[in-house]
Structures are given as structure tokens and as C-alpha cells.
Structure 1
Amino acid sequence: MPDVTDDAVREFPVARRCPYAPPEEYAQLRDSAPVSQVRTPTGSTAWVLTRHEDVRFALSDPRFSADRRNPAFPFLAAGQQESISAFRPNMLSMDEPEHGPVRRSVLGEFTVRRMRELRPRIQRIVDDCLDSMLAGPKPADLVAELALPVPSLVICELLGVPYADHDFFQERSSAMLRRSTGAEERVRAAAEVRSFLRDLITAKKSAPGEDLLSRQLAKQREEGVEDDEALVAMATLLLVAGHETTANMISLGTLTLLENPDDIAAIRQDPRRTLGMVEELLRYLTIVETVTSRVATADVEVGGTRIREGEAVIALGHTANHDPATFPEPAEFDIDRGARQHVAFGYGPHQCLGQNLARMELQIVFDSLFARVPSLALAVPRDELPFKDDAVIYGVYSMPVTW
């Protein structure tokens, strides 16, 4: 088991040069030094894992902690540690035995059966957004007209958050997820979102609705528990992650498909292929690259390299999802690949809670968009699009389209 010295420390992270492919530096690490040390922007050192096999191992092994309160946790931007330590942690930052009960308490909201019940409403939301876009001026911003409002409306209705407040939480979510945000602004944005949700939860105690937060409050009452801060932590995670991730997948996924018109024709001819296309988009784009970070709680060997207790680990999901050992010809976009073993939703006990919802939203959006707007095209060259190179979740800030 070799130890890696400071000679192997590299600056990190590296921005994508292509919206689809991992940076060449990461691919080189995967080929030559798949378990390597890097220097993070906050000055700490962390191990990066680049192979699919090693990423899945670390994300499923209980010797790697997800606890962001750990002083060794590898944060990549100013204020992230402060915004975590100042508030009650959510399930993303919990280990066992704390994590399991919290996750199970809300798991029933995201089952396949529950998604089937939500499907007609999501279809109406998508149709309404497309109606509005098609009735408006050209070119239109696909992000503002479709990619962002669809998941925002869905998660707002699911949680019971008034959509009228979407500008408030979207602005603050964006600040929380930009690496360039200053420490004070990041902490303030997190505090304002939590204060908003705390007031909403208080209001639902006297006027409950047919929504997730109201059902969680009822469950607490049945169990003789009252823990508003636990609900605030859960709601913050679901609200921020529930719209940012899917919004960026819609915009980047549309861009990918516009550059692969044969695949658009294929799903229009046979919508049964859309689910496979969604899985391939998730693998191909992997917009959440570094959220799956951990700290070793014991000495562990990963890929033949010793990682010691207390050392930080960052699992590079995008690079793992382009690992040719698992996905032959990974740079090819193949909607019939059958890529369900990807790690775009993470892996192991912290695998994305809302993955069934995300898959369904993406399927409905792409089927509806290309059925109704078969002549959709970019209104500017791809190189002119403002990509989110400074964000934790990759995507585009705007995407002018015409038809």
C-alpha cells in the first residue's frame, strides 16, 4: 500500500472545458494515479477518487463519514463550514445511527407509487410552462421559461412552499451553491432560507395542508415529538437540492440532445427509450461532481492506497461515470447504453432521496418538449452560453433557444 507524498498534491478543483467531459487532468489521474491527493481552495489536503469502483466503495463503506461537522471535512469554498456548523445538520451530513431514522421518516414521500400519483400534476406543470414559452417572444431563455420553473413548482407543491416566494429562495440557493460567494453572504443566505422555512412550518401547525411538511408535523405529533429545527434542516435540503439539480439537468440535457438530433428522433418515435436516455444523460453529465465527500474514521485501503483515519476524501462522480473500465467508450452519448450503475445520484446509504422524482420530471420534460417543439434550436453558439463553472452544481445560467 503506497503512501502519497506532497509531490502528488495538485490544485483543485479544475473547471470543465467541455460541458460533457470531465477535465483532462481528472481523466489522467484516473489512468495513472486513481487515488491522489489534491490541495483544496480552503488550503486543506484531500484524497480524490476517480475510478468508478473506488467511488462506489467509499460511498458505501461505513468507515467513511459524511458528517460535515467534522473539522477535516473537505469544503471547497469560503463560508461552507460556517454555514454548516451554525445550523442543525440535515440527513446529507449524518452517519448511522442518526441517519437511518431521519431518512426513513421521509422516504415514503419519494416511492415509485407516490411518483405515479404525482405524474399527472407534473405533466400539467410542464405543459403550462411550454404554453407560456411558446406564446412568448423568440428567442426564449429555456432556463427561465422551463428548466427552472418546472422543478421549482414541483418541489414547492410537494413541500407546501408558496411558489410566489420562488425568487426569494432561488436567489439564496444560487448564492449558497456558488463557490465564489463570500463567507458572510453564504451564511446569511443559509440563515434566511432557514428562517423562511421556520416561519412556514410554524404557520402549518395551525393551518396544515396536503403537503410533505404538514404530514411530517402530523407524524411528529403522533410520536409525541416536536422538533421544528429537524424539519427546517430537512426542508432546506429538499428545497435547495430539489430544484437546482433537476433544473440544471433539464437545461444541459436539452443542450446535449440538440447536439444529438438522431436521439431526439428516436425518443419521438419510441418514447419507451426516454428512460434509458435519461439514465445516459445522468451518467454523461453528472452535474453534481464533488458533493460526495467524506472523512475516513479508520485506516482504509482504497485502490491499493492507504487512507488514514481523519483524512478527507472527495469522490469525483463525473470522472467515475466516464471510467472506461465500467462504461466502454464513455465519451460517446448512447441512449441505449443501460447505464443504471452510474453514480450521478451518489451511492450507498446517502444515495439521492429524490432520484425517482428527478427521473420522472426529466422524462416528462424531454418527451413533452421535443414532441411540441420539434424545431427547437440554440439561438446562440454553444461557446457563448454562460456555464456554471463557479457552482457546486454544474449547468448554465441562461440558454437562449428558438424554434
Structure 2
Amino acid sequence: MPTPIPLPIERPTLLDLPADFRWLRTDLPVAPLAFPDGPPGWLVTRYDDVRAGLADPRLSSRRPHLNSHVRASLISSKEMAELRPLDLLTSDPPEHTWLRRLVTRQFTARRMNQLAPRIQAIVDDHLHALATGPRPADLVQTVALPVPSLVISELLGVPFTDRDLYYRLTAELLSLNRTREQLLAGKAEMKAYLLGLVRAKRAEATDDVLSGLVQAQSDDARLTDDDIAALGQLILIAGHETTANVFSLAVLLLLRPPRLWDTLVRRPGLVNDFIEEALRYATVLQFGLLRVAREPLTIAGQPIEAGDRVVLHLPAANRDPGRFTNPDHLDPHRPVTSRHLSFGHGPHHCLGEQLARIELRTLLTTMLRRFPDLRLATDFEQLRTHDQRVVHGVAELPVDFTPPSEATGSGGGKGARGDLSQGRNP
């Protein structure tokens, strides 16, 4: 067997994958993978194999640490269990089926569609602030991060006034360069914060997901406050961090040469196809998903033993030339782009997929209309990335533009502005 290799993580540019994935997909699609701690496992890089693995019940999502294939485990299994019980990411059926059903009831298509007008109002508010604020502006801090944060805050039932707290805790929990003490403190603080919200919802319920989960306890005594806090943490982090980074990278893809931004300004009907292509091309879960073999199985001819750890690499699969023609080329006209794996596949397919698409579509269509000459205000090579974060993205995105007339907005003038400091329930 070849010598196990460490996970390739060095990108030649912020929008390119490590070059090793090209030969791995061709020559060693199931490669022996060196882990920072423990015995070696396996790295799966081809689209068909990754997609099959995501749906294979023989590959378990239960694991002691979410990031053990890129960082040595700093927390014991016992400490992890105390700080975070099973959630949607780290459970298998029947527990996963039960938890997913509880959350699915809160993420109905009707509720997501009802959010659309509120999302538009939030977008209009922040684009008004962008248009009237200082220039150049950092699109990450002015639009990309606060818009999905306010949306998920209102949907989940988390005060938007606490955003600085959960921004900090999210960054700490997703970072790979924290010490054991910092990681333990961050996990404990996040859990305590969310448990406090659960108690508040029990005392005074509102129309939000946390209140709905608290109400579900009256019908299902198995659901504990710790379970609700763990579900709330996952929804909160995924709901703002991933969408913010996808949007920032999508805008960057449009503004870099040859400026696809101009094409979409002229042809806004391409927005939906471009969003799918951006999700494929710039997959933000940059290190893949970790599974553990429950029993012996074979992937692409490679025997996998029970207990082996297997990394299903979503970015490598989404750039597989066996699935996508010329995959390293961004093509908004690409057929079947909706079959990318950026939202996962199988039982763990992302529940927030519809919400993310609504937010991305609203953000992009409104920005294209209001800022037709948007441009980068720095060199592409100077952009800083989240290279020490599980979720890939740019740390900042300086942009400039000619201030548009308020009349070009979609109802986004001062009269449409909501309360950005408090938020309100949809």
C-alpha cells in the first residue's frame, strides 16, 4: 500500500484546489490518508464515490471530533459528549432520523417562502447602507456577513444584538489554530448561551425555530435542552457562516477577469445557474466530511475495514472531470450543475438548502441591479482568506462603485429600512 499522505490543503490561489487532487482522482481515488492523530484512514476524491459514500449507511457520522482529519483531537470523547450531544452532523439512524424530523418541521417550504419578502427587506436595508456609506467598502462586513446573520437570527430566535458574541464564538469553533483551553472555553460559552435562550423560549415562546423545538418537548420527552442547544448551534453557525462565504466568493468570481459581473448585469436570467455553478466551483466546506466504517466495505475496489476513518472530499468531487467537463473553468451555462455535492447528499443532505438559495438569489439579483459597475478595490492576490478555518472564504472583500440612485433599488430606500439593531420575527 502507498505511504499515507496528509490531507492536501495548500491552494495555489484562493479559488483553486490543491493540485494533488488531480492526480489523486486519476491514480489513487481512494488514497491512504495520514491523520494528525491515530491510525491512517482513507481519502475519497471522485464524484461518484463521494456521492455514494454520503448515502451509504455503512459509513457512520458518529465520530469523536469533527475536524480530526485536519487537526489533532484536543478534546476527549467524554468532554465532547458533555459539551455537545448528538446532533444532525454527528448522528446515525435512528437518532438522526428522529432529530431531522424535528428540525424539518421547522424548515418547511411554506415557511422558507414566507421569508422571501423579509429577506428582500433585509437585503435592501444593507445595500442602502452600502450605497450611502464610505467607499471603498468591505463587502464581507457590510453585506455578506450581516444579511444571513440577521435572517438566521430571526428564523432561529437568536437576538441579532448578540451577533458580536456568536460571530466570535463561531470563528473560534471553526478555527484550526486554537489551543485546547480556547476550544473548551468556546464550546462551553456557546452551550451556556444557547441553553439560556432555550430557557427564555420556555418562559415566553415566540414564532421561531427554538420556540418550536421547545414546544416539541411537550410531545417528546426524549428531547433535552442539551439536544435543542446542539441543534441551535448547528443551525446558527451553518445559517450565517456558510452563506456569507458562498456569497463573498460568488461576487469575487464575478468581479475577477473577465468580469462575469457585466454579463449578469445584462442577463440577470443567468443568476440561478450562476449560483449553482459558484456552489460547485467554490465549495466552502473545504476539507470534506469525515465518516467511520461501521463494517467492512469496498470503495472503488479498495477494501475498507470496520473502524477505518474515511474522508469524503466534496471540493475534489465537485471538480471531478469525470463528472463535469472542464471542471476548473467557471461556466454559468454548465448543464446539470444542480447535481453538485455542496449541500451534501443522502440522509445528511443540508436542510437549509432552500433558504440559502433564496438568500443568494436575492442578494445577487438586487446587487446587480443597484451596483452595475461594482468592482474590486484591491488586487486579487492581496485578498486574505480563511486559511485556518473549516469553511473556506475571504476574510474581506474591498469593493468600489458609483453610488446608485435610490430610485434604482427594489423598494430599498429609506422607507423600506427595518431595525438592523434588533431584528424581528418573520
Partner of 2:389: 391
Answering whether residue 59 of structure 2 is matched by residue 64 of structure 1, we say yes
Q: When you count helix as a share of all residues, which structure comes out higher?
A: 1
Q: How does 1:282-321 map to 2 (within 5 A)?
A: 282-321=279-318
Quickly say closer, same or farther: Cα 1:81–1:36, change in 2 above 3 A: farther
Quickly say closer, same or farther: Cα 1:355–1:329, change in 2 above 3 A: same
Task: Report deviation, 1:79.
Answer: 2.7
- Give identity over the alignment, percent: 37
Stretch moving more, 110-119 or 296-305: 110-119
Q: Distance in 2 between matches of 1:109 and 1:343?
A: 24
Q: Distance in 1 between matches of 2:66 and 2:132?
A: 52
Partner of 1:19: 14
Q: Distance in 1 between matches of 2:233 and 2:288?
A: 16
Partner of 1:115: 112
Amino acid at match of 1:55: V
Q: Distance in 2 between matches of 1:306 and 1:352?
A: 29
Q: Distance in 1 between matches of 2:265 and 2:48?
A: 35
Amino acid at match of 1:120: P
Whether contact under 8 Å (1:292, 1:314) holds in the other structure is yes
Stretch moving more, 130-139 or 64-73: 64-73
Task: Report deviation, 1:388.
Answer: 1.1
Q: 1:341 aligns with which of 314, 339, 342?
A: 339
Quickly say closer, same or farther: Cα 1:72–1:183, change in 2 above 3 A: closer
Whether contact under 8 Å (2:385, 2:394) holds in the other structure is yes
Answering whether residue 327 of structure 2 is matched by residue 330 of structure 1, we say yes
Amino acid at match of 2:24: L
Whether contact under 8 Å (1:13, 1:40) holds in the other structure is no
Q: How does 1:345-384 map to 2 (within 5 A)?
A: 345-384=343-382
Quickly say closer, same or farther: Cα 1:81–1:48, change in 2 above 3 A: farther
Task: Report deviation, 1:268.
Answer: 3.0
Whether contact under 8 Å (1:73, 1:312) holds in the other structure is no
Q: 1:101 aligns with which of 98, 116, 132?
A: 98
Whether contact under 8 Å (1:68, 1:81) holds in the other structure is no
Task: Report deviation, 1:260.
Answer: 5.4
- 1:171-211 CA-partner distances (Å, limit 9, x unpaired): 11101111111122112111111110100110111111111
Task: Report deviation, 1:227.
Answer: 1.7
SS at match of 2:106: helix
Answering whether residue 278 of structure 2 is matched by residue 281 of structure 1, we say yes
What RMSD in Å do the two structures reach over aligned CA positions?
2.0
Task: Report deviation, 1:346.
Answer: 1.2
Whether contact under 8 Å (1:193, 1:236) holds in the other structure is yes
Q: Distance in 1 between matches of 2:36 and 2:64?
A: 18
Partner of 1:29: 24
Whether contact under 8 Å (1:19, 1:285) holds in the other structure is no
Whether contact under 8 Å (1:277, 1:336) holds in the other structure is yes
Answering whether residue 116 of structure 2 is matched by residue 128 of structure 1, we say no
Stretch moving more, 261-270 or 305-314: 261-270
Runs of 4+ in 1 over 6 A off after TM superposition: 70-73
Partner of 1:85: 81
Whether contact under 8 Å (1:72, 1:295) holds in the other structure is no
TM-score normalised by length of structure 1? 0.94
Partner of 2:412: none
Residue ranges of structure 1 left out of the alignment (5+ in a row): none
- 1:123-159 CA-partner distances (Å, limit 9, x unpaired): 1111111111111111111110011001111110001
Whether contact under 8 Å (1:279, 1:340) holds in the other structure is yes
Answering whether residue 155 of structure 2 is matched by residue 161 of structure 1, we say no
Count of residues in correspondence between the two structures: 398
Quickly say closer, same or farther: Cα 1:265–1:368, change in 2 above 3 A: same
Whether contact under 8 Å (1:74, 1:294) holds in the other structure is no
- 1:362-396 CA-partner distances (Å, limit 9, x unpaired): 11111111211111111110111111111100001
Quickly say closer, same or farther: Cα 1:24–1:297, change in 2 above 3 A: same
Answering whether residue 171 of structure 2 is matched by residue 174 of structure 1, we say yes
Task: Report deviation, 1:402.
Answer: 1.0
Amino acid at match of 1:59: L
Answering whether residue 136 of structure 2 is matched by residue 139 of structure 1, we say yes
Q: How does 1:223-302 map to 2 (within 5 A)?
A: 223=220, 227-259=224-256, 263-302=260-299
Partner of 2:404: none
Whether contact under 8 Å (1:12, 1:41) holds in the other structure is no
Amino acid at match of 1:149: P
Stretch moving more, 189-198 or 253-262: 253-262
Quickly say closer, same or farther: Cα 1:29–1:92, change in 2 above 3 A: same
Whether contact under 8 Å (2:138, 2:398) holds in the other structure is yes
Stretch moving more, 149-158 or 252-261: 252-261
Q: Distance in 2 between matches of 1:289 and 1:193?
A: 24
Partner of 1:202: 199
Partner of 2:407: none
Amino acid at match of 1:29: L
Residue ranges of structure 2 left out of the alignment (5+ in a row): 402-426
Q: Distance in 2 between matches of 1:71 and 1:279?
A: 26
Quickly say closer, same or farther: Cα 1:384–1:14, change in 2 above 3 A: same
